[in-house]
Chain A
Amino acid sequence: MSKIVDQPVLVVCEKGNPKRFFWIKKWVTVKAVIDKWNEVGRWWEDEKEKTFYRVLAGEGGVYELYLNQKHWNLYRVFD
């Protein structure tokens, strides 16, 4: 199961990859980037390409974050 969140979050990066992000009043540490991909979106409506990260958090949870230009969003949380 997963839940679409799609809300802006604060992310701290290291060497281009997310290192931790702030979610529900606490910092979530990224243990590993499990997967990474780009999505182009509706380019004909001037939508920009996003980079998605599926990450494994230190507490064991799996999250999807995306970087849209300079803005980070938490896209999905896996149960």
Chain B
Amino acid sequence: MFLHLHVHSPYSFLDGASGITKLVERAADLGMPAIALTDHNKLSGSVRFIKAAQKAGIKPIIGCEVTMEGGFHLTVLCQNNTGYRNLCAVLTQAHLGNERESPMADLHTLASHKEGLFVLSGCRKGLIPSLILQKRFKEARQTAEYYKHIFGQESFVIELSESLLPGSMSLNKSLSELAASLNLPTVVTNNVHYATKEDFQIHDILTCIRTLTKLEDVHPERRLNSENYLKSSEEMKAEYKGYPEAFYMTRALAEQCECPLELRVQNFPAFAYPKGFKSSNHFLRHLVFQGAGGRYGKITHEVKARLEHELSIIGQLGYEDYFLVVWDLVNFAARQNIRHAGRGSAADSAVAYCLGITDVDPIAHNLLFERFMSLERGEKPDIDVDFDARRRDEVTAYVYKKYGDAHVASVATYNTFQARSSVRDVGKAMGYAQDEIGIIAKRLPHIPGYQIENAFKSLPELKSLDIPEKRLKTLIETAGKLSGLPRFLSTHLGGVVISKTPVTWLSPLELSAKGVNILQFDKDDVEDLGLVKIDLLSLRTLGAVEDSLGFIEGTKLDYDRIPLDDKATFRRLQYADTIGIFQLESPAQRGLQARLGAENIEDIVASVALIRPGPIKGDMVEPFIRRRHGEEDITYLDSRLEPILKNTYGVVLFQEQVIEIASVIAGFTPGEADKLRRVMTHGRSFDEMEKIGRLFIEKAVKRGVTEQVAAEIFKCIRGYASYGFCEAHARAFATTAYKTAYLIEHYPAEFYGSILNNQPMGFYPVSTICVEAKNHGVEVLGPSINHSGKDVAVTGLSIRIPFKMISGMKQNAITSIIRERAKGKFKSFYDFTRRVKLDSDILRNLILCGCFDEFGISRKSLLWQAKDACMVADSTPPQAEMLLALPDPVYCTHKAAGVPGQMEFSLGEKVAFEYQILGTGVSAHPMEIWRGKLRKQGFIASRELSSIKPGDFVKAGGIPVRPHRPPTKSGRTVVFLSLEDEYGLTDITCFENVYAKYGKFLFPGKLMPLGVWGQVQKRGNGFSVTAKTVFPLSYVLS
């Protein structure tokens, strides 16, 4: 029986078209006893490959197609773990010793790491085959002799890798003769790049994407035929019938290779505890009880019992070192004043609370430790800590310093093809125009690729595309087939691993675009490799908080002691005035706040948890609000549910409650209860849900609950399916939400300024934040060449837009301006251009966004002066000419004519440029310019909405902000969006019939100010418009 020793998976990144499972299953179906994985210069697919092969009952052989110096290929196979480590070392050298994304292994490095490896001569891109194809037979022989010498006769193998290509017959004959003459073994491979012949088309498209070519183009990387599939033994024998010995050797070589990795063997380092302690357990106990003293004052019996319980589980599972490592990081951050906050289920742990990792007291809030860790589950706990985004790297640097570069690396993430990226890439390869692709991609929601076909069938904005049916069908089908394939490797947001052994024993390292060394595996794979990941996440909100505290003058605000019962802050929430507030600013949250009438931190905890797909689809929001206001009785299906659900008015809101219900009602073990939570929260299959439901009812009945009540309770918790928060996480977020609300209430200029300073962050664009700031009495000053800095500046109740917000601005340009200004303010535009030399496009943007307005010369006139200035500075007239290639203003109908002199742009043109360059208008808001005309036609402004009688019909207009289709309890599609005008936002709801008719305007794929005619709705303190018709504002303004 034949087997394949040269196989590429999608982890060859754009050079493998079939998933690992498909490849392995096909090999198993063909009766092959083993299969190798040999991706280009990466081992990223290894873990999944081993798991898939073990599941299919065939032997996995790990290898790699290594690019050598000069660009030649060699196929390398691991015989054992020693070979695997050596291959990791070779690949690390290949990646880190060369330009990023151009790995090339050094032959001598490979030779010095040859132990445990088989080296095959490679495909046509191997040096020996390449020399033969060039008829340089003597050099081919010399090379083979040399390889034989350095790798050894037993380890260097001649590979017959391709048939049915021009020249293959003679190439294979020559290779075979060469092997015979040097007494080298020969094997047969098929350089597999996809599982079946039909998958060739996907591979061809991927090759076009990789080589930036179109299908119509010719490129040497594109394969001539579709023969590189996983062929059967019979097919291979028919093609290589003259080489029976090579077939025998292929099998013999595979038999000498064993799976080189044992998965899930723990590899976490021991924490270096101080002298005087007997073990890490001893030191952890010391820290925990010391911390408990600080947190609780007196350690009560309840606190002690809880801590002992947690420490016992941590000890039994052997995770003391993990807790100590995280404690050490958080401790470092605290010492360096790096703002941080623990999040996620770690807040269920009193140990984490006492170590200062989290700030939520799980004992006071009766939070369930078993949601975080349990003996039965036995899994590594996941502690996530958010750090101020700008200083997170300092914490990472500390980890590297403490544990050593050889033992620390960042986790990778596999960026996979999603709907939008697939359509963009396939569209380009198919020759679609750039604009055309842009519109299609922007109209697609952010969905996985496999949902593309369904989206094109169901979404009105996609159904209305003006593209020939057959062409569109090919695009959709092909893009769908790319779904989920990895596109490229990048750095995980915050995951680093710390390893007991050098990390390169388990994974090659390569340089990420960010400039850090990353593993070739993602977060799931590193766990299978036995590595423990620590998430050092960055949260821009923490940066905004830090900035605010820096801006606040006078009496320093103690952020950690902000009172949690500030009436003004809660009043702001009750009026849904929450734009800019962490977690509470989305339209759905604002709608909730207007009705909920939050009065305490518990209401905010509930708010954070309520606006999630699980509670929304489970129809829990309305009952919660009614019960919160005493408008509906709180009832329990079983009296034992009362203590569990009392705080949430009988509504299942948190994951911890699901676990407790399962334990109390059905007697689920912690492990069973956690399985139930996982099945529900990860949207597992219908079958799994049914299965665990039956178990729940069966066990509940055994404990005396009637079948009907048990089924009813399960129905309630099942309604929670898809996704919900754990209470600990909601509490951690709620505290930050409240504190940011407090800051925005009492220090609006400081906090709005900080939001602008930390862009991109939050739900809304810069323009919305600026409108909100203005409406709260904060003046937003335009950028100024003499007054702006790199960052936002806050003075009293005014915010100055910084240079970094200017589109196209570069750090070195900012530094030049500020350095020169320190010598003396710029006196004129001429003075500036004489002292600071900038790229013409940056200078153009500075002019168009008003940086030089203080010199009293029109922007248009400055553009003409700049043309001369740039010609002097760059001595490149064509670049200067580009200054006059002005973009089409977005909101005005006449073009900015290139007329010299003192003429100025119209207000509309100025605002259009400001929007393009700053993301917001400074001279005015676009709607302000049109207000008079709109008013004449009966349009109201956002601030007038609350004065309209609910039920009345109105016309509203503005710039659409964040149209989206969240999940709804009915399952129907409802589009929510806001229309931004100069006074704020008007929230719009479009039900399915309106969406079906006007989807192309709601999701146009480009910026399009909209008008809406609809009915005013009032819910609580909030107003919105339910749209009946939607139209581009240009229809009524032209």
Query: Chain A interface (Cβ within 8 Å of chain B)?
Result: 33-40, 42-44, 49, 51-52
Contacts and interface: CB of A to CB of B under 8 A. Distances in A.
Given A44-B215, A49-B226, A38 B201 contact: no
Contacts of B225: 37-40, 49
B474 A40 contact: no
B375 interface: no
A44 B430 contact: yes
B170 A37 contact: no
B165 interface: yes
Contact of A40 (B166, B168, B200, B430): B200
A33 B166 CA distance: 12
Contacts of B164: 36-38, 51
A38 B227 contact: yes
Contacts of B169: 33-36
30 contacts: A33-B169, A34-B170, A35-B166, A35-B167, A35-B168, A35-B169, A35-B170, A36-B164, A36-B168, A36-B169, A37-B164, A37-B165, A37-B166, A37-B168, A37-B224, A37-B225, A38-B225, A38-B227, A40-B200, A40-B204, A40-B223, A40-B224, A40-B225, A43-B204, A44-B201, A44-B215, A44-B430, A49-B225, A49-B226, A51-B164
Contacts of A44: 201, 215, 430, 474
Nearest to B227: A38
A50 B224 CA distance: 11
Interface of B: 164-170, 200-201, 204, 215, 223-227, 430, 474
A44 B165 CA distance: 21
Contacts of B224: 37-40
B480 to A, nearest CB: 16
Contacts of B200: 40, 43
Nearest to A42: B215
A60 B227 CA distance: 31
Contacts of A42: 215
B763 to A, nearest CB: 41
B170 A38 contact: no
Contacts of B474: 44
Contacts of B167: 35
B228 to A, nearest CB: 11
Nearest to B167: A35
Most buried by B among A34, A42, A49: A49
Query: Closest 10 CB pairs between A and B?
Result: A38-B225, A38-B164, A37-B166, A40-B225, A37-B164, A37-B165, A44-B215, A40-B226, A35-B169, A39-B224
Given A35-B169, A43-B200, A44-B201, 16 more contacts: A34-B169, A34-B170, A35-B166, A35-B170, A36-B169, A37-B164, A37-B165, A37-B166, A37-B224, A38-B225, A40-B204, A43-B204, A44-B430, A44-B474, A51-B164, A52-B166
Nearest to A44: B215
| Residue in A34, A44, A51 whose Cβ sees the most chain B Cβ within 10 Å | A44
Nearest to B171: A35
A56 B699 CA distance: 80
B452 to A, nearest CB: 18
Nearest to A35: B169
Contacts of A49: 225-226
B801 to A, nearest CB: 49
A20 B971 CA distance: 68
Contacts of A36: 164, 168-169
Contacts of A40: 200, 204, 223-226
Contacts of B204: 40, 43
A38 B168 contact: no
A55 to B, nearest CB: 12
A13 to B, nearest CB: 16
A52 B169 CA distance: 13
Nearest to B204: A43
Tell which of A33, A38, A42, A51 has the most Cβ of chain B within 10 Å.
A38
Which residue, of B169, B200, B223, has the highest number of chain A Cβ atoms within 10 A? B169
A54 to B, nearest CB: 8
Nearest to B162: A37
Contacts of B166: 35, 37, 52
Nearest to B222: A40
A40 B222 CA distance: 11
A44 B430 CA distance: 9
Nearest to A16: B238
A27 B226 CA distance: 32
A37 B167 CA distance: 8
Nearest to A34: B169
B738 to A, nearest CB: 57
A52 B165 CA distance: 9
A57 to B, nearest CB: 17
Nearest to B205: A44
A43 B201 contact: yes
Contacts of B170: 34-35
B215 to A, nearest CB: 5
Nearest to B239: A36
A74 B334 CA distance: 80
A39 B218 CA distance: 13
Nearest to B430: A44
Nearest to A54: B166
A12 B164 CA distance: 21
A39 B204 CA distance: 13
A68 to B, nearest CB: 13
A42 B225 CA distance: 11
A52 B201 CA distance: 20
Nearest to B165: A37
Contacts of A37: 164-166, 168, 224-225
Nearest to B478: A44
B349 to A, nearest CB: 57
A35 B166 CA distance: 7
A34 B169 CA distance: 8
Nearest to A45: B215
Contacts of A51: 164
B202 to A, nearest CB: 11
Contacts of B168: 35-37
A37 to B, nearest CB: 5
Nearest to A33: B169
A33 B200 CA distance: 27
Q: Which of A33, A34, A39 has the most CB of B within 10 A?
A: A39
A38 B430 CA distance: 23
Contacts of B226: 38, 40, 49
Name which of B164, B201, B227, B430 has the most chain A CB atoms within 10 A of its CB: B164
Contacts of A34: 169-170
A33 B169 CA distance: 10
A31 B442 CA distance: 60
B243 to A, nearest CB: 16
A64 B169 CA distance: 15
Contacts of B215: 42, 44
A40 B201 CA distance: 10
Nearest to B223: A40
A41 B170 CA distance: 24
Contacts of B165: 37
A12 B779 CA distance: 89
A43 B478 CA distance: 13
A47 B200 CA distance: 14
Nearest to B474: A44
A40 B168 CA distance: 16
Contacts of B430: 44
A42 B170 CA distance: 27
Contacts of A43: 200-201, 204
A52 B170 CA distance: 15
A40 to B, nearest CB: 5
A43 B223 CA distance: 12
B168, B169, B215, B225 — most chain A CB neighbours (10 Å):
B225
A42 to B, nearest CB: 8
Nearest to A43: B201
A32 to B, nearest CB: 10
A27 B105 CA distance: 54
A66 to B, nearest CB: 12
